[in-house]
Chains A and B, each alone.
Chain A
């Protein structure tokens, strides 16, 4: 999650055949890679060993599992939709009409990372109306704020790769209004950036614990923590399953997005990376 969207500014093709000098992978790189691998995989291995194979079969049958997972998925859907509906038009408008506000927007969107979630949730609970506090959908509104830094950066990067002004003017000269251009021209060209935003938002919502716990709603991460008091191995198996399923979903999205992007001349989609759209040469 720490890795944010970056832009591959250069559209220069990467040579397929690298020289022998480039193919060599120095020992120190192997060393660093091995250390990093150990650092990340050791806890997973320990968790796997602790849970045991049998625990994986029991996860889905535990009480509260389905409702917790269902709530998390529902929140992920609501958060993603709200985030995109809010952030796409806003970011496009700022790029197009208020480019000077981009710096301000960047600072504003980084605030949810700087401000601890506990501060945010206390503030929200102070001002939220009672009717909203009574529904778990309040969490979705809070997650929109949490997702803002990631969604904004994905969309912003996608927009930087487009000649937005020219696309809008070309569309406008053909008779399209702002919304038509946004829907038919801009959004389809932001497909990769939007997928990055969706991936990041979904991953964030499925893994968020602090806010849900303080709001007293049993989302999937909260259920895992609570259930660990009943059965440590099953709870750990649920964590590993969640991690694995999320990873598989992300890879599936990235693979499909890459294929779709390549068909339209866009860059390959790696997690949180958007490439500049290719354009024709001067011939």
Chain B
């Protein structure tokens, strides 16, 4: 069975990442650039749903000058370097702060912007005035970021927070004592959302420089560095800086949460229709097929088959779906098997549904009385015909309610695929929330979408159950 899966998988294998036609500059014709898309003002979606920001514009300009096409791949920060290593992207343009560890591991460009860090605390905090006061305190940081390292170095305990607005909320709610973050990012947030409840108390001594990062041995950097120098000299860098960090940039009109939700209702619906629903349908159907096969293997008198089934079920049910997604998407490329985001998500979710469904199907089959197998046998049916005509139709009646649960879980679990770059409903909500910082409102809106889908599915499940129950006493 697994062999069949791999065979199937082979059909969908993505073609090799690049053709060998590299530019003389050492850069590929199409440069795949990883960026978060949820980190204003460096990388975010503007009101007209266009990816923009300082880093985005900067690398676009570099690409234009070098005559390579820049293709952005939205990637969550925590997966950014996995994506780079697994060759899903060629370059990171997302405020990668220059540090020795990174310098040792990756090819880095020369800095294209520099900033300092700032220390932010709640307005009523009187005990933290400088980085030194962080000792023994809790700092809300993106755990893989450079700022987390700075906070740690000064003796703080780092609490993982993945977005600026969550960091600020954690601060005002007293869940963390301080935030160390990029001055530009913090200012941008405070410009958008107002400074209520927080204050900037210090800047870090060392200035932080942001660079582009590529895999080791990429040979992109000489060409990129040359353009960075040129852009600094001809004033392009300054123009971009003014656009995103200048006085004008500060006077953004704050939009109400309600307006943000209204503006994003359609994009979120689109993401639902284009990703969330197709993914759910595909994963559920393939997952059901896997579930039935594995359930039958599990019941098989052939020991090898039943053990394979047991191990499969045990692994799927015993490991987090998130890990399964990451293994399929980032792990398999390490051994040369690479799928697109959608296929990866469909594989991981199908296997997950298969693992949970197998036990449901197995117990449903077991609940059909032996007399049914015997009656089928005495009218001349073989094993397969008995299953198809007699056992599975009856087992399905037993299996539908628990499988319905699996389906509803699946609908919501598709939100995890944003981790592997899927542009699903939840990811769309994140993107929309980033420039406006309206996380709470947009996540609530996303919750409503999920709920509506589940409500509709639940309705159909009810009708299906009624139909399947038509032959039993009520």
* Real binding pair: no
